Amino acid sequence: MIMMQGRWLGLMMLVCALATSCATFPSKKLPRVPAQSVQVGKKVSLSYQMAGGMEMITGKPADLNAKQLVTAESAFTAAAQKSGRFSSVTSGGKGDVSVKLHLYNHGNQALAMTSGFISGYTLFVIPGFATDQFKLTASVRTTSGKSRNYELNDAATTVFWLPLIVATPFQSPKTVIPQVHENMYRNLFSRMEADGLLPQARP
């Protein structure tokens, strides 16, 4: 029994060592909006409230934990600050533009776990897949009385496969998924501008 446990422990340690053989790829469901500052005649202050959730293995939703929420919030503030549209970006309070955000990951965790287990059991010879499906809802209101609700959807797929060990440093989930989120927020700002909730960018 002890020998059997030792074998399983060794296998699991090897699987963990090889778990770097993964790469994450954006699904590109939304247009790519360049991460560059735009020129506007007047910058406005932006206040926001961030919430989020994810679908658990049981299929039931759960709120994002504190660390996950900070990650989602950091991507939003980065997108807002890089946009050049805003004089300030603050959590809570009341800005010229107020946004209530909810980012929900409804990827199939049960399927991802099964696929990942099979891949790990074969030491990543058989590829495994895990897709994060993101739905961003936003309720926007301005001090002038304009308001609008938005929904944007995008995704990212992480592939576990031994040959991808060379791609891991460039396509890691910690790098790619925040980039997907930032692009979702940049698309949100573009739609807000088109609807007159943000000042028009200069050509």
> What is the distance between the alpha carbons of residues 50 and 45, in angstroms, rounded to a whole number?
16
Least confident of 90-94, 112-116, 171-175: 112-116
Q: Quickly state the pLDDT bin for 168 (edges 50, 70, 90).
A: low
pLDDT tens for residues 109-156? 655 566 666 566 566 666 777 888 999 999 999 999 999 999 999 999
Show Cβ contacts of residue 133 under 8 Å, excluding neighbours closer than 6 positions: 105, 106, 107, 153, 155
pLDDT tens for residues 51-71? 999 887 766 788 988 988 999
pLDDT of residue 102: 97
Cβ atoms of residues 56 and 109 within 8 Å:
yes
Q: What is the pTM of this model?
A: 0.81
Does residue 83 register a pLDDT over 90?
yes
Domain ranges of the chain: 2-194
Which of 33, 121, 125 lies closest to 83, judged by CA?
33
CATH topology of domain 2-194: Rossmann fold (3.40.50)
| Consecutive H or E run containing 112 | helix 109-121
